[in-house]
Amino acid sequence: MSHNEDAPENLSSVSVDPAEMASFSRMAADWWNPSGPFKPLHIMNGARLNLIKEAVCTHFGLDPNADKPLTGLRVLDIGCGGGLLCEPMTRLGAQVTGVDALERNLKTAKTHAEQVGLDIDYRHGTIEQMVTQEEPPFDVVLNMEVIEHVANPPEFMADCAAMALEPEGGHPGGIMLCSTINRTLKAFAFAIVGAEYVLRWLPRGTHQFAKFVKPAELHRWMTDANLRVTEQIGMNLNPLTNVWTTSGDKSINYVTIGSKINPR
């Protein structure tokens, strides 16, 4: 394996924590194994995909029941991993770009997309690099289960928001969806003790409690980044049925939705 593949420290430090990258590097080949270390994401995927589709269609006035409701929209998936969200978003009609700081993740994502015949623009790098390269902004920015792994969350959020399209004319501007884990004792019990030590869904050390994010903190960072927060929705897992549902309970997992506004 080349040095470049496992040298995330060479990338900008705002969104890259080398220790976090090393952990995910060990799991990269298992992204598409529904019984492997990414089992929780496979279980969550249906619920979060429905939430994304409904939120995006509402924002842009699209029909969520259409065959490919997101046709014509450019979507950026930050920290895309093995492509678990990029692929279904592409099937919904979106033009998808996935960026990840770990090259091994992208090799897995590209290989799987080719195997299933999907055209997805996968890029190795960080969100800060995309901002400095003056990449055209996107209609939809997905920031899912990433912020609790980055080195500097407020700056990371500002860079993510910079990639969302500003309102102009009749266009409502871009929409960002950010999902993460609340910093509560309940989240510690379920997301770390339960998922990593009892159920062993995730390798020990996947999450660090100090990096969990309270809804008020995320609301503030998004507001500071020229996003108008429109909704914060709880996501809850029934451990007996392995079914995720949305609710007002944000004590563990939650999704924050924000729309881009013009700079003050």
Per-residue model confidence (pLDDT) at position 2 = 33
Give residue-wise pLDDT tens across range 26-45.
555 688 888 877 777 788 88
pTM of the model: 0.85
218, 154 in Cβ contact below 8 A? Answer: no
Residue 40 host element (H or E): helix 39-60
Q: How far is CA 91 from CA 33, 100, 155, 185, in A?
A: 20, 20, 32, 38
Per-residue model confidence (pLDDT) at position 201 = 65
Per-residue model confidence (pLDDT) at position 3 = 34
Lowest mean pLDDT among 148-152, 191-195, 220-224, 235-239: 191-195
Per-residue model confidence (pLDDT) at position 40 = 76
Per-residue model confidence (pLDDT) at position 54 = 97
Q: What are the residues facing 256 on neighbouring strands?
A: 178, 232
N residues, the chain: 264
3-260 is classed CATH 3.40.50.150:
yes
pLDDT at 219 over 60: yes
What is the average per-residue pLDDT within 90-115?
93
Position with higher pLDDT, 243 vs 118: 118
Greatest mean pLDDT among 2-16, 21-35, 71-85, 190-204 lies in 71-85
Q: How far is CA 165 from CA 49, 235, 262, in A?
A: 21, 27, 9
Give residue-wise pLDDT tens across range 168-203.
988 899 999 999 999 999 988 877 777 766 666 666
Per-residue model confidence (pLDDT) at position 10 = 47
Q: What is the pLDDT of the chain when averaged over all its residues?
A: 86
Q: How far is CA 139 from CA 52, 54, 91, 145, 162, in A?
A: 13, 15, 17, 20, 12
pLDDT at 1 over 70: no
Residue with tokens 């709880």: 234
pLDDT at 7 over 70: no
